[in-house]
Amino acid sequence: MKQFLKFFSTFLVSTFVGVSIIVVGILIFTDTTLSELKEIYAKAGIIKILISCATSIGALVIAACLQIILHEAGHLIAGLWYKFKFVSFRVANLTLIKEEGKYKIKKFHIAGTGGQCLLSPPEETPSRKAVIGYLAGGALLNFATAILFFFIWMRADNLYLDFLALYMWVIGLLFALLNGLPLKVGGITNDGYNIRLVAKDNESKQNILTQLYINAACQQGIRPRDMPEEWFKNREVTDYKNVFQVSERLTFASRLIDKREYDSAHAMLDDLHGHSKEIIGVLANEIDCELLYLELCHRKDLTRADELYTDTLKKYVEQASQTMSSKQRVLCSLAHFKENNPEAATAIYQKVVSKKDSYLMLGEVVSDIDLMEEIISVSPSRDGLK
């Protein structure tokens, strides 16, 4: 029932949005007045109106999907032009990835994103112009297609083409503005904001490149501890609202965990947790996941673990565990040490092992399997837990 209500409410909102855009478009770009438009709808009849609404909603969905694909394709085209190498191309939770010279489809999702195109920078450090070009490619292609479909819409004399062309240029223009203009929403910077940062200082450029290097290596099966040391900077965070600084610190702590340097990793993560109100939600959740793992498996502090495992974090772990092996590791540690259920912990471990090739971040999977083997090899007795 809950799912039905959610679908029905979405349908109503989509219908309202679709009809509103049509009405506004007709009033702005034609000589039709509002009273004339009312008469047209009155004469059309309920069946034609419903067909019109259904067609509008279908065109809206198709246009939105196409513009997401075009946006990521823009990044891909621009990146390849500047000698970047293809790593993965994601739309919604479907990801095209190249492994060992072969292309595969996998499922992966990042909260707050409709798609993502990841490329690996060339061996020779790319110029600032190249990085800006890669970042700008998505918005530029959205804008170019918006212009194209605007002229198609102006000439269209078919109902279905008219709807599709209308939404293609409206959504294309919207995506171009939302991604091209410098914006920071909930602490997350868009392409335009990142372009401004890269143009402003070399450190931001290097942060973006380093993240691309690490993501590419991880998707190719290289675990964090085996990646080049120069990719990981041990720098203090001076601004906890800065996504780049917090991500850099979190990435360094994750590498320490993979190297079994648990005390150092805990100190870093605990410091970050202390500033969780300043840090964007998704990163705050990632920090708490790793901290929860360390509290359970290495500090044996069940009281602190209970404090960390809030309803919000529980929901995040359950959702992310569908595509991220690191969250299965957290569930494994919870089952083994908090629930005192080694059988459940072993089952989680075996599930990850059996489907390890289906994960996107292969390097992370190798690391998580290794860490889970350490978990299930320890007695789950609560004698050592505080």
200: in domain? no
Confirm if 67 and 321 have CB atoms less than 8 A apart. Answer: no
Query: Using 50, 70 and 90 to split pLDDT, how confident is the model at 7?
Result: very low
The whole-number pLDDT of residue 384 equals: 44
Query: Using 50, 70 and 90 to split pLDDT, how confident is the model at 185?
Result: confident
203: in domain? no
Considering the domain architecture, whether residues 103 and 13 belong to the same structural domain is answered as: yes
Range from 184-198, 209-223, 243-257 carrying the lowest mean pLDDT: 184-198
Considering the domain architecture, whether residues 269 and 346 belong to the same structural domain is answered as: yes
Confirm if 117 and 90 have CB atoms less than 8 A apart. Answer: yes
211: in domain? no
Considering the domain architecture, whether residues 168 and 253 belong to the same structural domain is answered as: no
Q: Which two tokens stand for residue 352?
A: 């990850």
Phi-psi region for residue 301, left (φ > 0), alpha (ψ -120 to 50) or beta?
Answer: beta
CB atoms closer than 10 angstroms to residue 366: 20
Confirm if 207 and 233 have CB atoms less than 8 A apart. Answer: no
- Report the b/e string of 202-231 with b at 16+ CB within 10 A: eebbebbbbbbbbbbbbbbbbbbbebeeeb
End-of-domain residue from the set 161, 195, 229: 195
In whole angstroms, give the CA distance from residue 190 to residue 214: 20
Considering the domain architecture, whether residues 49 and 154 belong to the same structural domain is answered as: yes
Element (H, E) at 173: helix 159-180
In whole angstroms, give the CA distance from residue 264 to residue 256: 7
Considering the domain architecture, whether residues 154 and 280 belong to the same structural domain is answered as: no
Considering the domain architecture, whether residues 126 and 264 belong to the same structural domain is answered as: no
Element (H, E) at 98: strand 94-99
Considering the domain architecture, whether residues 345 and 274 belong to the same structural domain is answered as: yes
286: in domain? yes
In whole angstroms, give the CA distance from residue 248 to residue 233: 7
Please name the residue ranges forming H helices in 279-324.
281-297, 302-308, 311-320
End-of-domain residue from the set 177, 195, 213: 195
Considering the domain architecture, whether residues 236 and 375 belong to the same structural domain is answered as: yes
Considering the domain architecture, whether residues 46 and 191 belong to the same structural domain is answered as: yes
The whole-number pLDDT of residue 369 equals: 96
Percent of the chain with pLDDT over 90: 47
Q: What is the CA radius of gyration of the chain?
A: 24
Query: Using 50, 70 and 90 to split pLDDT, how confident is the model at 19?
Result: low
Report the number of distinct structural domains present in the chain: 2
Confirm if 241 and 189 have CB atoms less than 8 A apart. Answer: no
Torsion angle of alpha carbons 272, 296, 321, 369, nearest 10°?
110
What contacts 180, CB < 8 A, 6 or more positions away?
136, 139, 140, 142, 143, 191, 192
3-state helix, strand, coil in the chain (%, to 5): 70, 10, 25
Considering the domain architecture, whether residues 113 and 181 belong to the same structural domain is answered as: yes
98 or 190, higher pLDDT: 190
Please name the residue ranges forming H helices in 187-237.
191-200, 202-219
In whole angstroms, give the CA distance from residue 283 to residue 240: 11
Considering the domain architecture, whether residues 158 and 257 belong to the same structural domain is answered as: no
The C-alpha angle with vertex 63 and arms to 59 and 65, in degrees rounded to 5, equals 120
pLDDT in tens, 90-134: 877 777 777 777 777 777 655 555 677 888 888 788 899 999 999
Query: Using 50, 70 and 90 to split pLDDT, how confident is the model at 161?
Result: confident
Considering the domain architecture, whether residues 269 and 190 belong to the same structural domain is answered as: no
The whole-number pLDDT of residue 315 equals: 94
The whole-number pLDDT of residue 3 equals: 46
In whole angstroms, give the CA distance from residue 355 to residue 118: 23
Confirm if 323 and 359 have CB atoms less than 8 A apart. Answer: yes
- CB-side exposure of 202: number of CA atoms within 13 Å? 3
Torsion angle of alpha carbons 321, 237, 264, 318, nearest 10°?
-10
Q: Which residues pair with 95 in a beta bridge?
A: 90, 106
Summary mean pLDDT of the chain: 84
216: in domain? no
Q: Model-level pTM greater than 0.95?
A: no
Q: Domain range holding 292? A: 221-384
Mean pLDDT of 221-225: 92
The whole-number pLDDT of residue 368 equals: 95
123: in domain? yes
Confirm if 176 and 139 have CB atoms less than 8 A apart. Answer: yes
207: in domain? no
201: in domain? no
pLDDT in tens, 48-90: 656 666 777 788 888 988 999 999 999 999 999 999 988 888 8
